[in-house]
């Protein structure tokens, strides 16, 4: 069995298969269907608002906004008047809506497609009476695809998720990780509904009918692994990448570990000429002073091959422009060395090699 981890964690509960029912297409008169749709829409909106009471989620806000969208509702009603069953009309209108979102280049719109599929499933389940399921014990939710509203609806009962498909960057995946819920994607379910499961998002294991010792062992092994990681952990440093003369927010200065790279060639691009030694001195001095005693690494002029100065293509590194622009190089190095005499946190890098 192929297994992919979407969210790590350890959970124990009984397997519950949530049927994502759709496409029943029950036929009723258009007049009755219009009334039923309005009732259904209001019921779904009400249930989404109820879920929002203890949830801070723009996903639910987005779904409510879609249902309240006048153009979307009119499209559904038009299809119902053309003798489409309610769920068929909703499915067709939603497919059209999704195509419009996918036609946009903006990744925000594309990221909302899964939320629309979620809304479609919710409406179908409400229409066919498969919502408002109550549990009095922990469950491992088993679905074809996990949608955010499932996590909202079964918030306290879900101890893990097993799905047939899923993506690491989906809203459902993000919510699962926020709640430390193990979430596995498998190609087959080797168990039946009601089977007690232990799923381990750290090891990809699914244990059927686990004993209490299995749960304790999984938790102990994970805690031990974390403690070992803590012993060998080396803290990372946050170094800024800067260019030009943009004003640096104090927050960045206070919360960073210094400047990992200041690209001085952007000073050239500001004037379309090499700046004077005095001007460079002021810029470098201010930078070193602001971050002192944190390191500030300033790279000497480094032009890529597609940039040219006075019609001459300059390759990367010092040697490429030193022969033709010796004065500019000497002025820059003089300014840097003078600043370094005052603030020894200033470091000079040339073509990816530190000079001082």
Q: Quick one: 203 and 70 in the same domain?
A: no
- What the block records as the tokens of 320 is 């490429």
Residue 214: helix, strand or coil by DSSP?
helix
Q: In the prediction, which pLDDT does 122 show?
A: 81
What's the mean per-residue pLDDT of the chain? 81
Q: What's the mean pLDDT in 242-263?
A: 81
Q: Is the pLDDT of residue 278 over 90?
A: yes
Q: Quick one: 12 and 117 in the same domain?
A: no
Could you tell me if residue 8 is left (phi over 0), alpha (psi between -120 and 50 degrees) or otherwise beta?
beta
Q: Cα dist. 182→11, 27, 51, 166, 316 in Å?
A: 6, 41, 22, 13, 48
Structural domain count, the chain? 3
Q: Quick one: 144 and 54 in the same domain?
A: no
Q: Is the pLDDT of residue 107 over 70?
A: no
160 C-beta neighbours (distance < 10 Å), count: 27
Of the residues 197, 230, 263, the one at which a domain ends = 230
Q: Which letter, b or e, does each residue of 249-276 get, where b requires 16 or more Cβ atoms within 10 Å of its Cβ?
A: eeeeeeebebbbbbbbbebbeeeeebbe
Domain range for 145? 3-16+133-230
Residue 92 φ/ψ, nearest 5 degrees:
-65, -45
CA 108 to chain centre: 11
Residue 110: helix, strand or coil by DSSP?
helix
* CATH for 102: 1.10.274.10
What would the pLDDT profile of 119-152 be if each residue is shown by its tens digit? 888 888 777 765 556 677 899 999 988 888 788 7
Of 22-31, 74-83, 203-212, 261-270, the one with minimum mean pLDDT is 22-31
Q: Quick one: 245 and 324 in the same domain?
A: yes
Which residues, at least 6 apart from 231, have a Cβ–Cβ distance to it below 8 Å? none
Q: Quick one: 38 and 117 in the same domain?
A: yes
25-34, 60-69, 111-120, 147-156: which is most confident: 60-69
Q: Quick one: 114 and 179 in the same domain?
A: no
- What the block records as the tokens of 344 is 């020894």
Q: Cα dist. 308→127, 271, 311 in Å?
A: 66, 14, 6
Q: Is the pLDDT of residue 241 over 50?
A: yes
């Amino acid at each position: 069995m192929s297994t992919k981890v979407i969210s790590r964690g350890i959970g124990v509960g009984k397997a519950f298969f949530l049927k994502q029912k759709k496409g029943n297409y029950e036929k009723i008169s258009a007049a009755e269907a219009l009334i039923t749709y309005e009732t259904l829409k209001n019921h779904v909106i009400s249930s989404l608002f109820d879920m929002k009471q203890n949830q801070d989620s723009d996903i639910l806000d987005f779904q409510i906004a879609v249902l309240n969208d006048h153009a979307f509702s009119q499209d559904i009603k038009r299809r119902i008047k053309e003798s489409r069953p309610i769920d068929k009309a909703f499915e067709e209108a939603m497919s059209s809506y999704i195509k419009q979102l996918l036609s946009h280049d903006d990744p925000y719109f594309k990221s909302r497609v899964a939320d629309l599929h979620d809304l479609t499933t919710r409406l179908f389940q409400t229409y066919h009476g498969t919502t408002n399921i109550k549990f009095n014990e922990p469950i491992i939710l088993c679905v074809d695809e996990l949608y955010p509203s499932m996590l909202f609806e079964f918030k306290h009962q879900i101890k893990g998720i097993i799905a047939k498909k899923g993506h690491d960057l989906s809203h459902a995946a993000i919510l699962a990780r926020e709640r430390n819920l193990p979430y596995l994607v498998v190609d087959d379910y080797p168990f039946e509904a009601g089977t007690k499961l232990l799923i381990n998002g750290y090891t990809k294991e699914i244990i059927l009918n686990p004993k209490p010792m299995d749960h304790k062992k999984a938790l102990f092994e994970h805690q031990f692994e974390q403690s070992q990681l803590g012993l060998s952990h080396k803290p990372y440093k946050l170094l800024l990448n800067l260019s030009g003369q943009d004003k640096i927010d104090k927050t960045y200065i206070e919360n960073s570990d210094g400047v990992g790279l200041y690209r001085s060639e952007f000073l050239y691009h500001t004037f379309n000429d090499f700046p004077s030694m005095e001007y460079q001195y002021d810029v470098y001095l201010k930078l070193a002073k602001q971050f002192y005693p944190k390191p500030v690494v300033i790279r000497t002029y480094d032009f890529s091959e597609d940039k040219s100065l006075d019609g001459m293509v300059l390759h990367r590194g010092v040697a490429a422009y030193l022969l033709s622009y010796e004065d500019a190089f000497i002025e820059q190095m003089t300014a840097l060395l003078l600043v370094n005499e005052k603030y020894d946190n200033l470091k000079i890098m040339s073509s990816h090699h530190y000079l001082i």
